[in-house]
Homo-oligomer: A and B are copies of this chain.
Amino acid sequence: MVVVVSAMSGVTDRLIQLARQVSPEADPSGREMDVLLATGEQTTIALLSMAIRAMGGKAVSLTGAQAGILTDHAHTRARIANISPEEIHRLLRGGNIVIVAGFQGITSGGDITTLGRGGSDLSAIALAGALGARLCQIFTDVDGVYTCDPRVVPNARKINEISYDEMLEMASSGSKVMQSRAVEFGKKFGVTFEVRNSFNNNPGTIVKEETAGMEQVVIRGVSIERNQAKVTLTRLPDRPGVAARIFRAIAEAGVIVDMIVQNISLEGSTDISFTLNADELPHARRVLEPILADLCAEEIIARDGVAKLSVVGIGMRSHSGVAAQLFEILSAGGINIQMISTSEIKIAVILDESEIERAARLAHDGFGLAG
């Protein structure tokens, strides 16, 4: 057994605060930030190892460097380049439980790095792949991935098995059980993992390669994302480079956009809409207003108070009429759809935020997801 641990609750934030105190003006150096942050996980590997030994077990801790987790040089958001698991194998052969510091690695030059958000999950999945582990269990504070948020849809069920792609679409649609980056890594290297609860022994959700049986379920789950805003630029000239100009400006300002929708043009002009987190709306307006004239746009229409509902399932690919079914369900409930966007395995709609919970319950029931 190999255990990957995170820092104790609050420790990483406290270390970041210390860094801000000594480096108030400039951004602290990424290299030094990583040396600092890596102490959080180094503390927990030692303590967990001691605790297991105190209970009579055999345990040895390894930092990311000692575990052979080699990364690139992108400090504070490094990517795992390679894992040399010889030391872990040696310790496992000696009958040890091996406790590895998550979230950290080392460059080929011997510098300490950290992996950024979702880093410990990523470490675990990458190690499971490198070690050829039978199973990788990700311990969280929920029982697994649900067909919808149980606080919104009381009869939501825990999903027993889900494909990587469905998990990714659920994650990008507001079901924040895990960071997408870790799921993508699992997909890339074919690592099956289980998302389960730290506080009970219930089986969790197995995330794995798509299997034939999975397509029989049309919709795997419904997810919602609140606190969204939509922005529309109206009557843009229908010519190349307009969309690029808009989203380059937005990206350079560091604003993260979610859905982007453009319909066909009528009378030589078109409208482009996008959604984003409502907190980012003022920022986006400040970026776009100065270039409005340049773009020859008529106006910006911006509104918050909207939310996104997504239905996700790889079964969609082989079942027609899923979109129509969703629209009918919402229509029957008297819920107006403001925007629509689809991918191969997801249909997402923007609704008024006040109606999002009712819409989720209607879709959940309508697609027969209840337990």
Contact = CB atoms under 8 A, between A and B. Distances in A.
A92 to B, nearest CB: 16
Interface string A32-44: 1101101100110
A110 B51 CA distance: 22
A50 B38 contact: no
A275 interface: no
A259 to B, nearest CB: 39
Contacts of A39: 39, 42-43, 46
A26 to B, nearest CB: 6
Interface string A5-30: 00000000001001100111110110
A49 B34 CA distance: 12
Given A35-B42, A42-B42, A29 B53 contact: yes
Interface string A272-298: 000000000000000000000000000
Nearest to A45: B35
Nearest to A15: B43
A38 B42 contact: yes
Contacts of A49: 29, 32, 35
Contact of A46 (B35, B48, B65): B35
B36 A66 contact: no
Q: How many copies does the complex hold?
A: 2
A63 interface: yes
Interface in A38-77: 38-39, 42-43, 45-51, 53-54, 60-61, 63, 65-66
A15 B43 CA distance: 8
A11 B47 CA distance: 15
Contact of A54 (B22, B51, B54, B110): B22
Nearest to A42: B39
A54 B24 contact: yes
Contact of A22 (B26, B35, B51, B63): B51
B46 A33 contact: yes
Given A110-B66, A110-B87, A22 B47 contact: yes
A157 interface: no
A31 B49 CA distance: 10
A300 to B, nearest CB: 40
18 contacts: A18-B43, A19-B50, A23-B53, A23-B54, A24-B54, A26-B53, A28-B53, A28-B54, A29-B53, A32-B46, A32-B49, A32-B50, A33-B50, A35-B42, A35-B49, A35-B63, A36-B46, A36-B47
Given A31-B61, A35-B45, A35-B49, 20 more contacts: A15-B43, A18-B43, A22-B51, A23-B50, A26-B53, A28-B53, A29-B53, A32-B50, A32-B53, A32-B60, A32-B61, A35-B61, A36-B47, A38-B42, A39-B43, A39-B46, A42-B42, A63-B112, A65-B65, A66-B110
Interface of A: 15, 18-19, 22-26, 28-29, 31-33, 35-36, 38-39, 42-43, 45-51, 53-54, 60-61, 63, 65-66, 87, 110, 112
- Interchain residue pairs A-B with the least CB separation, the first 3: A36-B46, A39-B39, A22-B51
